[in-house]
């Protein structure tokens, strides 16, 4: 076994690998970019080395391993995990790459070659066509629309687009090719028959250098948005034991066909509607998967340990007959994204954090800590919450409870949406599909966020916190206390609060920690009381005798509140600011960035006439593109950005003005 292992990754997966290294008594080496200098994985590793050029610089990673006398490099997932040049450089320098041979990575990393290889081994594949042999549009016509266009290289759902007609093909190909080139350095595409609302089921395989290959059962990953997994579970509620063994055998054949060694995942799409549930190979991920914890919980195995032992030349310590699945495990991915804004990435600094305590039945893989800055440089996944139960129902219940106990303030996340998804009747029944979220999105958002309006106790709590600040700042002189006292009836102090484009007035009078009254909007006055925790990180707000506890944090004047997986940021409206209640109007012609990211393309020039809905710019964040369109017919009066420029969320990108202002009024006189 190795004495020292360098972990060529960051965040939760780096910490996950370090945890196993620590248990095995192996010295861990972390690497970090300048943006991650204060990250948790840096603090928890035995040694850490700065990478001036970031995580994708092969020579710097290899130099760090040599400097620290590491015997092996664990790549985690993402970054260099499936980079054959990196695996070969490790071998040239006498470093063991904890992963499969470069030839296997190469064969399975090219989806076109992978399909041909496994098909020759007798594994069923999805009908389709591929470049350069096929014209994608002609291949799509041959297999029939709708079709799925996807990059030949890479994974994670990046660049995958559905085209439902020949007319949609050119734009879909252009976008997929651009993403493929940027994300994977290879613009080659393939097209496949689009199986409507299939089940996405994958098989975990392990292979050693002695010819042994086993599978560890399946994971169901059908709950996705934008081809990216959100919830994963093991085993699948769809498969019976016969189908499980048949798919497992296909996965083992696929691994053997490329001389695979190490941990890998063979992915299938499965028709949930057809008799016998036919399964088609779609790709193999030649690395550890994000969702590997659910397999670990139902098998009792440590996949990272097994990766290390196989890389050290040891034979697998188990046969296929030794693999037993026990109970049920479900994982939820916590993302920095806003489901109510089409799952666009978010960002910010973590101001407050609460995660469930590690228990036998609940596991949290997280790279978060207070002060973590979430930007647009890396994947938006922040952490994973995983729960085990003796059956699926109990696992769902325990996972929901763990998510309810998770709070992230300072960054908008998808936690409330995850809880709504777990509570969905189809999900509870195991009636899953990759199209379920799209199909039920409106109902899921309503469950997660209600009507969109703030619950009354949220602005009331924020106003009480802000008012309490004024009281505390006044000191001991009773004449300085801003309690609204005057001869006659005490006066109300108004607070105009904004949150996610909504503006609401809250009036407070009295002393929040002793006795106060609050009016939210046009409601009646209610008695109010504010009790702050000893460390100031929570607040107990009592309104009309009903008490609610919130996690609490402040970012300047903005108050962040959290409860049951939800969070709210409320900012007091300052005199002189423009009317924030009208800030979201599209009629003003101001075009804003929907997310923090980088301007990828600018499709117009100042002075150009545009029509409503016409693409103006493309903003990219975390390898996801978003097309920003014209809010109305008009002329591009201002263009505030250029290609390659970083932008914040809601930054002004352009202004589109009516060519004939006042024409409507003139026509109606």
Please check whether residue 82 is in contact with residue 97, taking contact to mean a CB–CB distance below 8 angstroms. Answer: no
End-to-end CA distance of the chain: give it in Å, rounded.
87
Lowest mean per-residue pLDDT among 173-177, 357-361, 445-449, 568-572 = 357-361
d(CA 85, CA 63): 15
Measuring CA to CA, which residue among 302, 304, 299 is closest to residue 287?
304
Report pLDDT digits (tens) over 75-97: 999 999 999 999 999 999 999 99
Stretch 24-39: mean pLDDT: 96
**Phi, psi dihedral angles at 468 (to 5 degrees):** -65, -35
Confidence band, pLDDT 50/70/90 cuts, at residue 121: very high
Stretch 43-65: mean pLDDT: 97
Q: Under 8 Å CB-to-CB from 26, ≥6 apart: which residues?
A: 1, 2, 3, 4, 5, 308
Measuring CA to CA, which residue among 356, 349, 462 is closest to residue 415?
356
47-50 and 27-32 as β-strands: parallel, antiparallel, unpaired? Answer: parallel
Confidence band, pLDDT 50/70/90 cuts, at residue 580: very low
Confidence band, pLDDT 50/70/90 cuts, at residue 586: very low
Confidence band, pLDDT 50/70/90 cuts, at residue 156: low
pLDDT at 134 > cutoff 80: yes
Please check whether residue 189 is in contact with residue 147, taking contact to mean a CB–CB distance below 8 angstroms. Answer: no
pLDDT at 50 > cutoff 60: yes
* DSSP percent split of the chain into helix, strand, coil, nearest 5: 30, 30, 40
pLDDT at 250 > cutoff 70: yes
User: Which DSSP state fits 130?
Assistant: E
Handedness of CA 253, 257, 263, 264 (dihedral sign): negative
Confidence band, pLDDT 50/70/90 cuts, at residue 662: low
Confidence band, pLDDT 50/70/90 cuts, at residue 578: very low
H or E stretch including 409?
strand 407-409
pLDDT at 577 > cutoff 60: no
Q: What is the pLDDT of residue 479?
A: 55
Domains present along the chain, CATH in parentheses: 4-98 (3.40.50.20), 127-193 (3.30.1490.20), 202-222+241-449 (3.30.470.20), 457-572 (3.30.700.30), 584-665 (2.40.50.100)
Interior angle at CA 326, CA 322 and CA 331, nearest 5: 120
> How much is the mean pLDDT over the chain?
90
Q: What is the pLDDT of residue 26?
A: 98
pLDDT at 576 > cutoff 60: no
**Phi, psi dihedral angles at 601 (to 5 degrees):** -140, 145
Interior angle at CA 83, CA 81 and CA 87, nearest 5: 85
pLDDT at 666 > cutoff 70: no
Confidence band, pLDDT 50/70/90 cuts, at residue 584: very low
- The alpha carbon of residue 180 and the mean position of all alpha carbons in its chain are separated, in whole angstroms, by 19
Report pLDDT digits (tens) over 501-559: 788 999 999 999 999 999 999 999 999 999 998 788 899 999 999 999 999 999 999 99
pLDDT at 668 > cutoff 60: no
Q: What is the pLDDT of residue 535?
A: 82
Q: What is the pLDDT of residue 486?
A: 56
pLDDT at 483 > cutoff 70: no
pLDDT at 476 > cutoff 60: no
Confidence band, pLDDT 50/70/90 cuts, at residue 281: very high
Confidence band, pLDDT 50/70/90 cuts, at residue 110: confident
Report pLDDT digits (tens) over 362-381: 999 999 999 999 988 888 89
Q: What is the pLDDT of residue 623?
A: 61
* Maximum CA extent, the chain: 91
Could you give the dihedral angle defined by the CA atoms of residues 657, 659, 664 and 669, in that order, rounded to the nearest 10 degrees?
130
Q: What is the pLDDT of residue 575?
A: 44
């Amino acid at each position: 076994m190795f004495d020292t292992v360098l972990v060529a990754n960051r965040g939760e997966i780096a910490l996950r690998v370090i945890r196993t290294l620590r248990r095995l008594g192996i010295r861990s080496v972390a690497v970090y970019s300048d943006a991650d200098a204060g990250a948790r994985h840096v603090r928890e590793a035995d040694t850490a080395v700065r990478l001036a050029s970031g995580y994708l610089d092969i020579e710097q990673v290899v130099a760090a391993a040599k400097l620290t006398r590491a015997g092996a490099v664990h790549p985690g997932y993402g970054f260099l995990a499936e980079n054959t040049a990196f695996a070969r450089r490790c071998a040239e320098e006498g470093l063991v790459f904890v992963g499969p041979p470069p030839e296997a990575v190469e064969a399975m990393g090219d989806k076109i070659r992978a399909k041909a290889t496994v098909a020759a081994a007798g594994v069923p594949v999805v009908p389709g066509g591929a470049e350069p042999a096929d014209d994608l549009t002609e291949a799509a016509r041959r297999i029939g629309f709708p079709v799925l266009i996807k990059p030949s290289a890479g994974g994670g759902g990046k660049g995958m687009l559905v085209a439902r007609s020949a007319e949609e093909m050119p734009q879909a190909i252009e976008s997929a090719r651009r993403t493929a080139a940027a994300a994977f350095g290879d613009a080659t595409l393939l097209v496949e028959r689009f199986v409507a609302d299939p089940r996405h089921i994958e098989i975990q395989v392990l292979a050693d250098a002695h010819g042994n290959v086993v599978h560890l059962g399946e994971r169901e990953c059908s709950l996705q948005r934008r081809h990216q997994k959100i919830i994963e579970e093991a085993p699948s509620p769809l498969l019976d034991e016969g189908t499980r063994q048949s798919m497992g055998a296909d996965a083992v054949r696929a691994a053997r066909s490329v001389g695979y060694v190490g941990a890998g995942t063979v992915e299938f799409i499965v028709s949930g509607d057809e008799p016998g549930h036919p399964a088609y190979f779609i790709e193999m991920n030649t690395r550890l998967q994000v969702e590997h914890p659910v397999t670990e919980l139902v098998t009792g195995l440590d996949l990272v340990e097994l990766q290390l032992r196989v890389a050290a030349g040891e034979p697998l310590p188990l046969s296929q007959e030794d693999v037993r699945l026990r109970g049920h495990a479900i994982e939820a991915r916590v993302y920095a994204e806003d489901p109510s804004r089409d799952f666009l990435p978010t960002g910010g600094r973590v101001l407050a954090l609460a995660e469930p305590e590690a228990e036998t039945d609940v596991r949290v893989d997280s790279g978060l800590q207070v002060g973590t800055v979430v930007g647009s440089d890396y994947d938006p996944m922040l952490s994973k919450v995983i729960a085990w139960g003796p059956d699926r129902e109990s696992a769902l219940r325990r996972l929901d409870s763990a998510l309810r106990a998770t709070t992230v303030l300072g960054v908008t996340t998808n936690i409330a949406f995850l809880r709504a998804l777990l509570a969905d009747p189809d999900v509870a029944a195991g009636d899953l599909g990759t199209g379920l979220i799209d199909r039920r999105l409106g109902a899921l958002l309503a469950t997660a966020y209600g009507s969109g309006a703030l619950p009354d106790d949220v602005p009331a709590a924020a106003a009480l916190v802000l008012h309490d600040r004024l009281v505390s700042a006044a000191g001991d002189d009773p004449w300085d206390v801003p309690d609204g006292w005057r001869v006659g009836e005490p006066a109300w102090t108004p607070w105009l609060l904004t949150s996610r484009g909504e503006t609401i007035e809250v009036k407070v009078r009295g002393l929040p920690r002793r006795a106060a009254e609050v009016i939210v909007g046009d409601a009646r006055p209610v008695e109010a009381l504010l009790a702050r925790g000893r460390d100031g990180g929570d607040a107990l707000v009592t309104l009309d005798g009903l008490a609610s506890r919130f996690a609490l944090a402040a970012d300047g004047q903005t108050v962040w509140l959290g409860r049951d997986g939800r969070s709210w940021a409320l900012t007091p409206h300052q005199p002189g600011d423009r009317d924030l209640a009208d800030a979201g109007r599209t009629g003003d012609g101001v075009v804003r960035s929907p997310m923090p990211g980088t301007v990828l393309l600018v499709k117009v020039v100042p002075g150009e006439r545009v029509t409503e809905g016409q693409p103006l710019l493309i903003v990219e964040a975390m390898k996801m593109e978003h097309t920003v369109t014209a809010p109305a017919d008009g002329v591009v009066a201002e263009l505030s950005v250029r290609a390659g420029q970083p932008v914040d969320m809601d930054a002004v990108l352009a202004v589109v003005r009516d060519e004939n202002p006042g024409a409507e009024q003139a026509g109606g006189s």
